Amino acid sequence: MARYKIAVLPGDGVGKDVMDAAMIVLDAVGFKADYRHGDVGWEFWKKEGNPLPERTIKLLRETDACLFGAITSKPKDEAAKELAPELQGKGYVYYSPIVAIRQLFQLYANMRPCRAFPGNPLNYRDDIDVVVFRENTEGLYSGVEFHPVPGELRTLLEKLHPKMEAFKEISSEDMAISLRIITRRGAERIIRKAFKYAEESGRKKVTVVEKPNVLRETSGLMVRVAREIHEKEFPHIELEEANVDAMAMWLVKNPERYEVLVMSNLFGDIISDLAAQLVGGLGFASSANLGDTYGLFEPTHGSAPKYAGKYKVNPTAMILASKLMLEYLGEKEMAQRIENAVAEVIKEGKVRTYDMGGDSSTLDMARAIAERV
Ligand code: IPM
Ligand code: MG
Protein backbone atom coordinates (compact mmCIF):
# COMPACT_ATOMS: atom_id res chain seq x y z
CA MET A 1 0.00 0.00 0.00
CA ALA A 2 1.14 3.48 -0.80
CA ARG A 3 2.45 5.38 2.17
CA TYR A 4 0.96 8.71 1.32
CA LYS A 5 -2.43 10.04 0.34
CA ILE A 6 -1.96 13.02 -1.94
CA ALA A 7 -4.69 15.36 -3.11
CA VAL A 8 -4.17 16.40 -6.73
CA LEU A 9 -5.92 19.62 -7.72
CA PRO A 10 -4.85 20.62 -11.22
CA GLY A 11 -7.31 23.55 -11.29
CA ASP A 12 -7.60 25.72 -14.39
CA GLY A 13 -5.79 26.35 -17.63
CA VAL A 14 -2.21 25.13 -17.76
CA GLY A 15 -2.62 23.70 -14.27
CA LYS A 16 -3.47 20.39 -15.92
CA ASP A 17 -0.51 20.55 -18.31
CA VAL A 18 2.02 21.12 -15.58
CA MET A 19 0.41 18.57 -13.27
CA ASP A 20 0.84 15.88 -15.93
CA ALA A 21 4.49 16.88 -16.14
CA ALA A 22 5.00 16.66 -12.39
CA MET A 23 3.43 13.19 -12.32
CA ILE A 24 5.93 11.93 -14.89
CA VAL A 25 8.77 13.07 -12.66
CA LEU A 26 7.23 11.78 -9.41
CA ASP A 27 6.71 8.37 -11.00
CA ALA A 28 10.26 8.33 -12.31
CA VAL A 29 11.74 9.10 -8.93
CA GLY A 30 9.80 6.18 -7.46
CA PHE A 31 7.37 8.09 -5.30
CA LYS A 32 4.40 5.89 -4.50
CA ALA A 33 1.19 7.53 -3.48
CA ASP A 34 -2.52 7.16 -3.45
CA TYR A 35 -3.39 10.18 -5.61
CA ARG A 36 -6.88 11.58 -5.20
CA HIS A 37 -8.08 14.06 -7.77
CA GLY A 38 -10.22 16.98 -6.65
CA ASP A 39 -12.34 19.71 -8.18
CA VAL A 40 -11.30 23.31 -7.85
CA GLY A 41 -11.44 26.46 -9.92
CA TRP A 42 -13.29 28.31 -12.60
CA GLU A 43 -15.25 25.40 -14.01
CA PHE A 44 -16.85 24.77 -10.61
CA TRP A 45 -17.50 28.44 -10.04
CA LYS A 46 -19.41 28.59 -13.31
CA LYS A 47 -21.33 25.34 -12.80
CA GLU A 48 -21.88 25.34 -9.06
CA GLY A 49 -21.28 28.91 -7.92
CA ASN A 50 -18.42 27.66 -5.77
CA PRO A 51 -14.81 27.38 -6.93
CA LEU A 52 -13.95 25.29 -3.86
CA PRO A 53 -16.70 22.71 -3.37
CA GLU A 54 -17.21 21.18 0.05
CA ARG A 55 -16.19 17.73 -1.31
CA THR A 56 -12.77 19.15 -2.16
CA ILE A 57 -12.27 20.50 1.35
CA LYS A 58 -13.17 17.04 2.65
CA LEU A 59 -10.65 15.48 0.27
CA LEU A 60 -7.92 17.80 1.54
CA ARG A 61 -8.75 16.83 5.11
CA GLU A 62 -8.29 13.18 4.25
CA THR A 63 -4.87 13.53 2.64
CA ASP A 64 -1.30 14.12 3.80
CA ALA A 65 -0.51 16.90 1.36
CA CYS A 66 -1.80 18.55 -1.79
CA LEU A 67 -0.36 19.22 -5.21
CA PHE A 68 -2.06 22.23 -6.70
CA GLY A 69 -1.88 23.42 -10.31
CA ALA A 70 -3.16 26.86 -11.16
CA ILE A 71 -6.25 29.00 -10.78
CA THR A 72 -7.99 31.57 -12.91
CA SER A 73 -9.11 34.56 -10.85
CA LYS A 74 -11.22 37.44 -12.05
CA PRO A 75 -12.63 40.50 -10.32
CA LYS A 76 -16.03 40.09 -8.71
CA ASP A 77 -18.23 41.58 -11.45
CA GLU A 78 -16.55 39.78 -14.32
CA ALA A 79 -16.79 36.52 -12.41
CA ALA A 80 -20.51 36.99 -11.77
CA LYS A 81 -21.17 37.36 -15.52
CA GLU A 82 -19.71 33.94 -16.23
CA LEU A 83 -21.96 32.06 -13.83
CA ALA A 84 -24.36 29.53 -15.36
CA PRO A 85 -27.64 31.32 -16.23
CA GLU A 86 -29.61 29.48 -13.56
CA LEU A 87 -27.16 30.67 -10.89
CA GLN A 88 -27.12 34.33 -11.93
CA GLY A 89 -28.51 36.92 -9.53
CA LYS A 90 -28.65 34.50 -6.60
CA GLY A 91 -25.98 36.22 -4.58
CA TYR A 92 -23.02 33.98 -5.41
CA VAL A 93 -19.79 35.89 -4.93
CA TYR A 94 -16.51 34.67 -6.41
CA TYR A 95 -13.59 34.22 -4.03
CA SER A 96 -10.12 32.90 -4.64
CA PRO A 97 -10.07 29.18 -3.73
CA ILE A 98 -6.33 29.15 -3.10
CA VAL A 99 -6.58 32.01 -0.63
CA ALA A 100 -9.52 30.21 1.00
CA ILE A 101 -7.56 26.95 1.34
CA ARG A 102 -4.59 28.77 2.83
CA GLN A 103 -6.84 30.32 5.47
CA LEU A 104 -9.06 27.34 6.12
CA PHE A 105 -6.11 25.00 6.65
CA GLN A 106 -4.02 27.67 8.38
CA LEU A 107 -1.18 27.23 5.91
CA TYR A 108 0.44 30.27 7.40
CA ALA A 109 3.82 30.14 5.70
CA ASN A 110 4.23 30.51 1.99
CA MET A 111 7.80 29.57 1.22
CA ARG A 112 9.03 30.58 -2.21
CA PRO A 113 12.57 29.59 -3.09
CA CYS A 114 14.20 31.58 -5.88
CA ARG A 115 17.40 29.90 -6.89
CA ALA A 116 19.25 30.60 -10.13
CA PHE A 117 20.09 27.32 -11.86
CA PRO A 118 23.41 27.72 -13.67
CA GLY A 119 22.94 27.80 -17.42
CA ASN A 120 19.42 29.19 -17.40
CA PRO A 121 19.49 31.85 -20.12
CA LEU A 122 16.73 33.68 -18.25
CA ASN A 123 18.75 34.23 -15.07
CA TYR A 124 19.17 37.86 -14.23
CA ARG A 125 22.32 36.77 -12.47
CA ASP A 126 23.71 33.34 -11.64
CA ASP A 127 24.49 33.94 -7.98
CA ILE A 128 20.95 34.29 -6.65
CA ASP A 129 19.59 32.00 -3.96
CA VAL A 130 16.89 33.68 -1.90
CA VAL A 131 13.91 32.20 -0.16
CA VAL A 132 10.88 34.36 0.44
CA PHE A 133 8.67 33.57 3.45
CA ARG A 134 5.32 35.20 2.94
CA GLU A 135 2.71 35.28 5.69
CA ASN A 136 -0.21 33.48 4.11
CA THR A 137 -3.37 33.89 6.18
CA GLU A 138 -3.86 37.51 7.23
CA GLY A 139 -2.61 41.03 6.50
CA LEU A 140 -4.27 42.61 3.48
CA TYR A 141 -5.63 39.19 2.54
CA SER A 142 -7.74 38.96 5.69
CA GLY A 143 -10.76 39.50 3.49
CA VAL A 144 -12.34 42.10 5.75
CA GLU A 145 -13.37 44.70 3.22
CA PHE A 146 -16.14 47.26 2.93
CA HIS A 147 -17.76 49.04 0.04
CA PRO A 148 -19.72 51.18 0.51
CA VAL A 149 -18.45 51.87 4.00
CA PRO A 150 -21.29 51.18 6.47
CA GLY A 151 -22.41 54.24 8.43
CA GLU A 152 -21.79 52.55 11.76
CA LEU A 153 -18.19 51.79 10.88
CA ARG A 154 -17.65 55.28 9.57
CA THR A 155 -19.01 56.90 12.72
CA LEU A 156 -16.85 54.69 14.86
CA LEU A 157 -13.71 55.40 12.85
CA GLU A 158 -14.37 59.14 12.96
CA LYS A 159 -14.75 58.94 16.69
CA LEU A 160 -11.60 56.86 17.17
CA HIS A 161 -9.21 58.37 14.68
CA PRO A 162 -8.40 61.99 13.93
CA LYS A 163 -7.02 61.09 10.49
CA MET A 164 -10.57 60.34 9.35
CA GLU A 165 -11.08 64.11 9.26
CA ALA A 166 -9.25 64.21 5.92
CA PHE A 167 -12.06 62.17 4.30
CA LYS A 168 -15.05 63.99 5.69
CA GLU A 169 -16.19 65.33 2.30
CA ILE A 170 -16.17 61.87 0.72
CA SER A 171 -19.39 59.87 0.58
CA SER A 172 -19.40 56.31 1.92
CA GLU A 173 -20.27 55.11 -1.58
CA ASP A 174 -17.05 56.69 -2.83
CA MET A 175 -14.92 55.00 -0.24
CA ALA A 176 -13.62 51.43 0.14
CA ILE A 177 -11.78 49.95 3.09
CA SER A 178 -9.65 46.79 3.29
CA LEU A 179 -8.31 45.91 6.69
CA ARG A 180 -4.69 44.92 7.07
CA ILE A 181 -4.95 42.72 10.11
CA ILE A 182 -1.66 41.62 11.60
CA THR A 183 -1.75 39.51 14.72
CA ARG A 184 0.99 38.58 17.11
CA ARG A 185 0.20 34.92 16.47
CA GLY A 186 0.50 35.43 12.72
CA ALA A 187 3.70 37.42 13.01
CA GLU A 188 5.32 34.99 15.42
CA ARG A 189 4.65 31.87 13.44
CA ILE A 190 5.84 33.20 10.09
CA ILE A 191 8.96 34.77 11.56
CA ARG A 192 9.81 31.68 13.55
CA LYS A 193 9.34 29.58 10.42
CA ALA A 194 11.76 31.79 8.49
CA PHE A 195 14.41 31.64 11.21
CA LYS A 196 14.01 27.89 11.59
CA TYR A 197 14.45 27.43 7.89
CA ALA A 198 17.55 29.64 7.93
CA GLU A 199 18.98 27.59 10.76
CA GLU A 200 18.25 24.23 9.18
CA SER A 201 19.54 25.21 5.77
CA GLY A 202 22.73 26.75 7.14
CA ARG A 203 21.88 30.30 6.17
CA LYS A 204 23.19 33.17 8.21
CA LYS A 205 20.74 35.99 7.75
CA VAL A 206 17.02 36.69 7.82
CA THR A 207 15.71 39.99 6.47
CA VAL A 208 12.34 41.24 7.68
CA VAL A 209 10.81 43.30 4.89
CA GLU A 210 8.12 45.71 6.02
CA LYS A 211 7.29 49.42 6.12
CA PRO A 212 7.25 50.36 9.81
CA ASN A 213 8.09 54.01 9.14
CA VAL A 214 4.61 54.49 7.67
CA LEU A 215 2.58 51.44 8.72
CA ARG A 216 3.61 52.01 12.30
CA GLU A 217 1.18 49.61 13.87
CA THR A 218 0.98 46.66 11.48
CA SER A 219 4.50 46.62 10.06
CA GLY A 220 5.63 47.85 13.45
CA LEU A 221 4.27 44.66 15.04
CA MET A 222 6.00 42.46 12.47
CA VAL A 223 9.34 44.11 13.12
CA ARG A 224 8.94 44.06 16.91
CA VAL A 225 8.13 40.38 16.84
CA ALA A 226 11.08 39.70 14.54
CA ARG A 227 13.41 41.41 17.02
CA GLU A 228 11.99 39.44 19.92
CA ILE A 229 12.22 36.07 18.24
CA HIS A 230 15.67 36.85 16.99
CA GLU A 231 16.90 37.83 20.42
CA LYS A 232 15.27 35.00 22.34
CA GLU A 233 15.46 32.10 19.95
CA PHE A 234 17.89 32.74 17.12
CA PRO A 235 20.60 35.15 18.32
CA HIS A 236 23.17 33.21 16.23
CA ILE A 237 21.43 34.21 12.99
CA GLU A 238 21.64 37.79 11.79
CA LEU A 239 18.40 39.79 11.64
CA GLU A 240 18.32 42.57 9.10
CA GLU A 241 15.45 45.05 8.68
CA ALA A 242 14.50 46.56 5.34
CA ASN A 243 11.66 48.62 3.95
CA VAL A 244 9.69 46.88 1.27
CA ASP A 245 10.10 49.61 -1.35
CA ALA A 246 13.85 49.67 -0.85
CA MET A 247 13.90 45.87 -1.03
CA ALA A 248 12.36 45.97 -4.50
CA MET A 249 15.31 48.09 -5.53
CA TRP A 250 17.99 46.19 -3.62
CA LEU A 251 16.86 42.86 -4.99
CA VAL A 252 17.51 44.15 -8.47
CA LYS A 253 20.74 45.85 -7.50
CA ASN A 254 22.38 43.29 -5.19
CA PRO A 255 20.29 40.12 -5.12
CA GLU A 256 23.23 38.00 -3.97
CA ARG A 257 23.20 39.74 -0.58
CA TYR A 258 19.92 38.17 0.49
CA GLU A 259 19.24 34.72 1.88
CA VAL A 260 15.90 34.50 3.65
CA LEU A 261 13.28 37.24 3.42
CA VAL A 262 10.20 37.33 5.63
CA MET A 263 7.21 39.60 5.26
CA SER A 264 3.47 40.06 5.53
CA ASN A 265 1.04 38.73 2.97
CA LEU A 266 0.72 41.29 0.17
CA PHE A 267 4.35 42.40 0.41
CA GLY A 268 5.33 38.76 0.04
CA ASP A 269 3.02 38.34 -2.94
CA ILE A 270 4.72 41.22 -4.73
CA ILE A 271 8.32 40.61 -3.70
CA SER A 272 8.09 36.90 -4.53
CA ASP A 273 7.12 37.71 -8.12
CA LEU A 274 10.03 40.10 -8.35
CA ALA A 275 12.43 37.52 -6.92
CA ALA A 276 11.03 34.86 -9.27
CA GLN A 277 11.79 37.00 -12.30
CA LEU A 278 15.42 37.26 -11.23
CA VAL A 279 15.80 33.51 -11.66
CA GLY A 280 13.90 32.97 -14.86
CA GLY A 281 10.36 34.03 -14.16
CA LEU A 282 7.26 32.25 -13.02
CA GLY A 283 8.15 29.10 -14.98
CA PHE A 284 10.77 28.41 -12.30
CA ALA A 285 8.99 29.68 -9.19
CA SER A 286 7.56 27.06 -6.87
CA SER A 287 5.97 27.45 -3.51
CA ALA A 288 5.15 25.51 -0.39
CA ASN A 289 2.11 26.57 1.62
CA LEU A 290 2.88 25.21 5.04
CA GLY A 291 0.90 24.88 8.22
CA ASP A 292 1.53 22.80 11.31
CA THR A 293 -0.40 19.80 10.03
CA TYR A 294 -0.79 20.16 6.27
CA GLY A 295 1.12 21.33 3.22
CA LEU A 296 0.01 22.45 -0.23
CA PHE A 297 2.51 22.74 -3.04
CA GLU A 298 2.02 24.84 -6.15
CA PRO A 299 3.80 26.78 -8.83
CA THR A 300 3.58 30.55 -8.28
CA HIS A 301 2.30 31.13 -11.81
CA GLY A 302 -1.31 31.57 -12.89
CA SER A 303 -3.42 29.48 -15.24
CA ALA A 304 -2.32 31.18 -18.51
CA PRO A 305 -5.64 30.32 -20.22
CA LYS A 306 -4.32 30.98 -23.72
CA TYR A 307 -1.84 28.10 -23.38
CA ALA A 308 -4.25 25.70 -21.70
CA GLY A 309 -3.94 22.15 -22.99
CA LYS A 310 -1.21 23.09 -25.46
CA TYR A 311 1.59 21.59 -23.38
CA LYS A 312 3.70 24.61 -24.10
CA VAL A 313 4.46 26.16 -20.73
CA ASN A 314 7.49 25.43 -18.63
CA PRO A 315 6.63 22.80 -15.99
CA THR A 316 9.76 23.40 -13.91
CA ALA A 317 7.87 25.40 -11.27
CA MET A 318 5.37 22.57 -10.77
CA ILE A 319 8.13 19.95 -10.75
CA LEU A 320 10.03 21.94 -8.13
CA ALA A 321 6.79 22.26 -6.16
CA SER A 322 6.51 18.49 -6.10
CA LYS A 323 10.09 18.39 -4.90
CA LEU A 324 9.11 20.71 -2.05
CA MET A 325 6.29 18.29 -1.24
CA LEU A 326 8.72 15.38 -1.03
CA GLU A 327 10.90 17.39 1.33
CA TYR A 328 7.88 18.16 3.47
CA LEU A 329 6.97 14.48 3.62
CA GLY A 330 10.51 13.65 4.69
CA GLU A 331 11.51 12.07 1.37
CA LYS A 332 14.68 14.13 1.27
CA GLU A 333 16.64 11.85 -0.99
CA MET A 334 13.98 11.78 -3.71
CA ALA A 335 13.60 15.54 -3.40
CA GLN A 336 17.31 16.03 -3.90
CA ARG A 337 17.31 13.80 -6.96
CA ILE A 338 14.61 15.91 -8.56
CA GLU A 339 16.41 19.14 -7.85
CA ASN A 340 19.67 17.74 -9.23
CA ALA A 341 17.91 16.49 -12.36
CA VAL A 342 16.32 19.90 -12.95
CA ALA A 343 19.73 21.53 -12.53
CA GLU A 344 21.31 19.10 -15.00
CA VAL A 345 18.68 19.56 -17.67
CA ILE A 346 18.90 23.32 -17.42
CA LYS A 347 22.67 23.29 -17.50
CA GLU A 348 22.79 21.00 -20.48
CA GLY A 349 20.44 23.33 -22.35
CA LYS A 350 19.18 20.80 -24.90
CA VAL A 351 15.60 20.77 -23.74
CA ARG A 352 14.17 24.24 -23.45
CA THR A 353 10.59 25.41 -23.31
CA TYR A 354 9.46 28.51 -25.23
CA ASP A 355 10.10 30.90 -22.33
CA MET A 356 13.77 29.84 -22.46
CA GLY A 357 13.93 30.42 -26.19
CA GLY A 358 13.44 26.78 -27.19
CA ASP A 359 10.62 24.76 -28.67
CA SER A 360 10.44 21.80 -26.32
CA SER A 361 7.04 21.01 -24.91
CA THR A 362 5.92 20.77 -21.30
CA LEU A 363 6.18 17.00 -21.49
CA ASP A 364 9.59 17.02 -23.26
CA MET A 365 10.91 18.95 -20.31
CA ALA A 366 9.27 16.58 -17.84
CA ARG A 367 10.68 13.52 -19.62
CA ALA A 368 14.18 14.99 -19.77
CA ILE A 369 14.05 15.59 -16.02
CA ALA A 370 12.49 12.17 -15.42
CA GLU A 371 15.35 10.48 -17.31
CA ARG A 372 17.89 12.00 -14.96
CA VAL A 373 16.28 11.41 -11.59
C1 IPM B 1 0.04 33.90 -5.56
C2 IPM B 1 -1.09 34.41 -6.41
C3 IPM B 1 -2.38 34.42 -5.58
C4 IPM B 1 -2.15 35.39 -4.44
C5 IPM B 1 -3.64 34.77 -6.37
C6 IPM B 1 -3.88 33.79 -7.48
C7 IPM B 1 -4.85 34.90 -5.50
O8 IPM B 1 -0.78 35.65 -6.93
O9 IPM B 1 -0.04 32.76 -5.08
O10 IPM B 1 1.01 34.63 -5.38
O11 IPM B 1 -2.39 36.59 -4.57
O12 IPM B 1 -1.73 34.93 -3.39
MG1 MG C 1 1.21 36.28 -6.53
Mutate to test the pocket of ligand 1, among 9, 14, 96 (most ligand atoms within 8 A of CB): 96
Residue 363 · residue 24 · CB < 8 Å: yes
98 lines ligand 1 (CB under 6 A): yes
Residues with Cβ within 8 Å of residue 216, at least 6 apart in sequence: none
Query: CATH classification of 1-108+289-373 is 1.20.1090.10, yes or no?
Result: no
- pLDDT tens per residue, range 68-114: 999 998 888 899 999 999 999 999 999 999 999 999 999 999 999 99
Q: Is-above-0.85 flag for pTM?
A: yes
Which ligand 1 atom minimizes the distance to the CA of 73? 6
Mutate to test the pocket of ligand 1, among 40, 45, 76, 98 (most ligand atoms within 8 A of CB): 98
Q: What is the DSSP letter of 257?
A: G
Measured in Å, residue 171 CA sits from the centre of ligand 1 at 31
pLDDT at res. 240: 98
Q: How far is CA 203 from the centre of its chain?
A: 22
Neighbours of 318 (CB within 10 A): 33
Closest to 16 in 3D by CA, of 284, 310, 306, 295:
310
Q: What's the rounded mean pLDDT across residues 114-134?
A: 97
| Nearest residue (CA) to ligand 1, atom 12 | 269
CATH of domain 129-140+184-278: 3.40.50.2300
Give the residue from 89, 72, 115 showing the smallest Cα distance to 287. Answer: 115
Domain with CATH 3.40.50.2300 in the chain: 129-140+184-278
Query: Which pLDDT tens digit goes with each residue over 166-221?
Result: 999 999 999 999 999 999 999 999 999 999 999 999 999 999 999 999 999 999 99
The residue whose CA is least distant from atom 11 of ligand 1 is 269
Is 71's C-beta closer than 6 angstroms to any atom of ligand 1? Answer: yes
Return phi, psi of residue 115, to 5°: -120, 130
Tens of pLDDT along 337-372?
Answer: 999 999 999 999 999 999 999 999 999 999 999 999
CA-based nearest residue to 38, from 50, 52, 27, 48 = 52
- d(C-alpha 298, C-alpha 320), whole Å: 9
CB 20 within 8 A of CB 363: yes
pLDDT range class, residue 1, cuts 50, 70, 90: low
- The radius of gyration of the chain's CA atoms, rounded to the nearest angstrom, is 21
Of 328, 320, 309, 253, nearest to 287 by C-alpha is 320
Is the Cβ atom of 270 under 6 angstroms away from ligand 1? no
Residue intervals of the chain classified under CATH 3.40.718.10 are: 1-108+289-373
